[in-house]
Amino acid sequence: MNDDTIKKMKTMKLYGMIQAFQTSLQPSSRLDLTADELINMLVESEWDDRYNRKLNRTLKNARFRYKSSIEQINFTNNRQLDKNYVLRLADCSFIDKKENVLITGSTGIGKSYIASALGHQACTLGYKVLYEHSSKFFARLKMLKADGSYIKEITRIEKQDLLIIDDFGIQPLDSQSRSILMEIIEDRHGKRSTLLTSQVPVNKWFEVIGEETIADAILDRIIHDAHRIEMKGESMRKRNSNTTDKNE
């Protein structure tokens, strides 16, 4: 009877429930459960299994640059990083409110790590997230325009609850990249959240985007009511390298 039950569970793809049920059948388990406790254990196991599988898919689809977490962020004073402010962002209510986040600071200071940590946190809370490095992002979308799959990809991007564009402004946008960015921001404005990191201060983004009319339209949609993290201090990579050299 138990084998038949397990076969039926497999047919219904109740993999978490199968694992818990098989554990309960082991002589060494010594489980003394009432009927309702056993049902609760099976349902909880199935719930956890489905959540973990969904989270793994979400993280894989996000394509994060770093495997980071909020708990591992370094809040040392020399970076002038407000811990309370970052932790408030980590509840991801800004995604529910369709608000943007802008993280700026010098190279190597940890902007991408913090962006990825917020992205990971959003995934654990059930949001769909996509991480993109700006230069590769625009280059890829240009290629998709050539092979006819651009619209499909733009539609996929539009559906992401949080879009992370890392290293924005590393080089000035050409006309095609500017047009692509305008389309993405217009699609997401008031509907989804976008997080951008940049070495360039926000007040210099106008020059990065170029073409006054389009730059005004893009920045008005990105910057208005956005949460800002302005990081300062020396490069974390450089400091970690110096620490390693000293230890050696």
The string of pLDDT tens digits covering residues 132-161 is: 999 999 999 999 988 889 999 999 999 999
pLDDT on residue 236: 58
Mean pLDDT of 55-61: 86
- 245, part of any domain: no
Domain interval for residue 37: 2-61
- 88, part of any domain: yes
Edge-first strand listing for the sheet containing 101-104:
129-133, 162-166, 193-198, 101-104, 227-230
CA proximity to 151, closest of 195, 184, 182: 184
Q: Residue 245's pLDDT band (boundaries 50, 70, 90)?
A: very low
| Number of folded domains that form the chain | 2
Same domain for 41 and 99?
no
Same domain for 181 and 67?
yes
Q: Residue 53's pLDDT band (boundaries 50, 70, 90)?
A: confident
CA distances from 100 to 103, 142, 165, 236 (A): 10, 25, 11, 25
Same domain for 89 and 210?
yes
Same domain for 47 and 81?
no
Rounded to two decimals, what is the model's pTM?
0.80
pLDDT tens sequence across 187-213: 999 999 999 999 999 999 999 999 899
Intra-chain end-to-end CA distance of the chain, in Å = 63
pLDDT at 237 over 60: no
pLDDT on residue 234: 66
Burial of residue 27, with CB atoms counted within 10 A of its CB: 0-12 exposed, 13-18 middle, 19 or more buried: exposed
Same domain for 211 and 144?
yes
Domain's final residue, options 61, 77, 106: 61
